[in-house]
Structure 1
Amino acid sequence: MFPLLELPFNANNPLIFPYYIPLSLCTDTTQRLREGDIVVTKSRSAIGCSDHSCFWPQSSDGIVRVPYVFSPDYDEAQIRWINEAMAEFEILTCIDFVNHTTESDYLSIKSGKGCWSHYGKIGGGQILSLMKKGCMWKGVIQHELNHALGFLHEQSRSDRDSYVKIMWEYISAGNKGNFKKSENSNNLGLQYDYSSVMHYGTNAFSNTPGRATIIPIPDASVPIGQRYGLSNLDVAKINKLYNCNRCSTVLDSPSGSLSSDNHTSKYSSSNATCFWLIRIPSKRVSLQFDAFSLKSSTDCKTEYVKIYDGVSQSSEVLLDKTCGTKSPPVVTASGRTVLVEFVRGGTGAATGFKISYSSGRSNPRKNGRESDANNVKSENSGKRSGKI
Structure 2
Amino acid sequence: MTRREAGMKTGLNVSERQGINGDILNLKVIYTLGCQGCLWPKSENGNVLVPYIFVSNYSYDHLNVIRNAMQEFESLTCVRFVPRSEELAYLSIISSDGCLSVVGRLGGAQAVQLEAPGCMFRGVIQHELNHALGFYHEISRPDRDKYIIINYENIAPGFESAFDVVYGAQNLSLEYDYDSVMHFNMYAYAEKSSLPTIIPTPNPNVAIGQRDGLSVLDVEAIKRLYNCTEDVIFSYFSFFFLTDVCSTLLNTPSGTFSSPNYPFNFPNNIRCVWLIRIQNGQISLTFNDINIPDSIACISGYITIYDGPSINSPPILQKLCVSIQLPAIIGSTTQMLIEFVSNNDTTSMRFSASYKTVPCGGTYFSLVDDFTSPGYSSGSYYSNLDCNYTINAPAGYKISLTISFDIEPGLQCRYDTLLVYTSGTINGSKRTLCGINTVSTTSESNVMLLNFQTDAYTQRLGFFAQYYICK
Q: TM-score, normalised by structure 1?
A: 0.82
CA distance in 1, matches of 2:8, 2:381: 19
2:38 pairs with 30, 54, 59, which one? 54
Distance 1:261 1:132, change over 3 A: same
* Residue 188 of structure 2: aligned partner: 204
Cα distance in structure 1, aligned partners of 2:271 and 2:214: 20
In 2: Cα distance, 1:13 partner to 1:295 partner? 48
Structure with greater helix percent: 1
Q: Distance in 2 between matches of 1:13 and 1:72?
A: 24
CA displacement at 1:128 relative to structure 2:
1.1
- Offset of residue 195 of structure 1: 1.2
Deviation at 1:155, TM superposition (A): 1.3
Distance 1:264 1:37, change over 3 A: farther
> Which residue identity is paired with 1:39?
L
Residue 30 (structure 1) aligns with: none
Once the two structures are superposed, what CA deviation does each residue of 1:361-388 show, in whole Å capped at 9, x if it has no partner? 3473457898xxxxxxxxxxxxxxxxxx
- Of 330, 346, 356 in structure 2, the residue corresponding to residue 332 of structure 1 is 330
Partner of 2:152: 168
Q: CA separation in 2, counterparts of 1:305 and 1:277?
A: 14
Greater mean deviation of Cα atoms: 348-357 or 134-143? 348-357
**Closer, same or farther in 2 for the Cα pair 1:325/1:369, shift >3 Å?**
closer
Please state how far the C-alpha of 1:76 moved relative to its aligned partner: 3.4
Shift of 1:330: 0.7
Q: Identity, % of aligned pairs?
A: 41
1:224 has 2:205 as partner: no
Match of 1:100 among 65, 79, 84: 84
Determine the structure 1 residue equivalent to 2:259: 260
TM-score (norm. length: structure 2): 0.68
CA distance in 2, matches of 1:227, 1:86: 14
* 1:150 paired to 2:145: no
Q: Which digits, 9 at most, give the CA deviation of each residue in 1:312-364, with x for residues without a partner?
A: 11212222222333222110111321111111222544250000111123473
2:20 to 24, 31, 34: 34
Counterpart CA distance in 2 for 1:211 and 1:266 is 53
Q: Is the 1:264–1:272 contact (alpha carbons within 8 Å) kept by the matching residues of 2?
A: no
- The equivalences for 1:1-388 within 5 A come to 14-17=9-12, 19-23=13-17, 33-40=19-26, 50-245=34-229, 246-262=245-261, 269-362=267-360, 364-365=374-375, 366=378
Seen in structure 2, the aligned counterparts of structure 1 residues 266 and 236 have a Cα distance that, compared at 3 Å, is farther
Matched AA of 2:131: H
SS at match of 2:9: coil
8 A contact 1:295–1:323 mirrored in 2: yes
* CA displacement at 1:264 relative to structure 2: 12
Distance 1:330 1:48, change over 3 A: closer
Q: Distance in 2 between matches of 1:206 and 1:324?
A: 57
Q: How far apart, in 2, do the equivalents of 1:339 and 1:166 lie?
A: 38
Distance 1:190 1:328 in 2: 38
What code does the residue aligned with 1:254 have? P
Larger gyration radius, structure 1 or structure 2? 2
The separation in 2 between residues aligned to 1:172 and 1:165, in whole angstroms, is 16
Residue 126 of structure 2 aligns to a residue in which SS?
helix
Task: Report the Cα distance in structure 1 between the residues aligned to 2:262 and 2:70, rounded to whole angstroms.
Answer: 24
Q: CA, structure 1 residues 70+266, in 2 after alignment: closer, same or farther (shift >3 Å)?
A: farther
- Corresponding letter in the other structure for 1:59: S
Structure 2: distance between partners of 1:174 and 1:199: 20
Structure 2 counterpart SS, 1:69:
strand
CA offset digits 1:171-221 (Å, max 9, x no partner): 234222211122222211111111111111121112223222212222222
1:307–1:339: 8 Å Cα contact kept in structure 2? yes
In structure 1, distance between residues paired with 2:84 and 2:290: 43
Counterpart CA distance in 2 for 1:282 and 1:103 is 38
Deviates more, 1:68-77 or 1:124-133: 68-77
In the aligned structure 2, how far is the partner of 1:52 from the partner of 1:240?
15
Residue 13 to residue 176, structure 1, CA distance change in 2 (3 Å): closer
Inter-CA distance 214–323: structure 2 relative to 1 (3 Å threshold): same
Give the 3 Å change call, closer, same or farther, for CA 361–47 of structure 1 in structure 2.
closer
Structure 1 unaligned spans of 5+:
1-6, 25-32, 371-388
CA distance in 2, matches of 1:330, 1:47: 44
Root-mean-square deviation (CA, aligned residues, Å) is 2.7
How many pairs align? Answer: 348
Structure 2 unpaired stretches of 5+: 1-5, 230-244, 362-373, 383-471
Taking the aligned partners of 2:264 and 2:58, their CA distance within structure 1 comes to 44
Structure 1 ranges of 4+ moved more than 3 A? 12-17, 46-51, 262-267, 365-370
Residue 162 of structure 1: how far off its partner (Å): 1.4
Partner secondary structure for residue 244 of structure 1: coil
Equivalents in 1 of 2:381, 2:24: separation in Å? 36
Comparing both chains, which one has the higher relative contact order based on Cα–Cα distances under 8 Å and sequence gaps of 6 or more?
A: 1
Aligned pair in 2 of structure 1 residues 101, 35: CA closer, same or farther (>3 Å)?
same
**Distance in 2, Cα, partners of 1:108 & 1:265:** 47
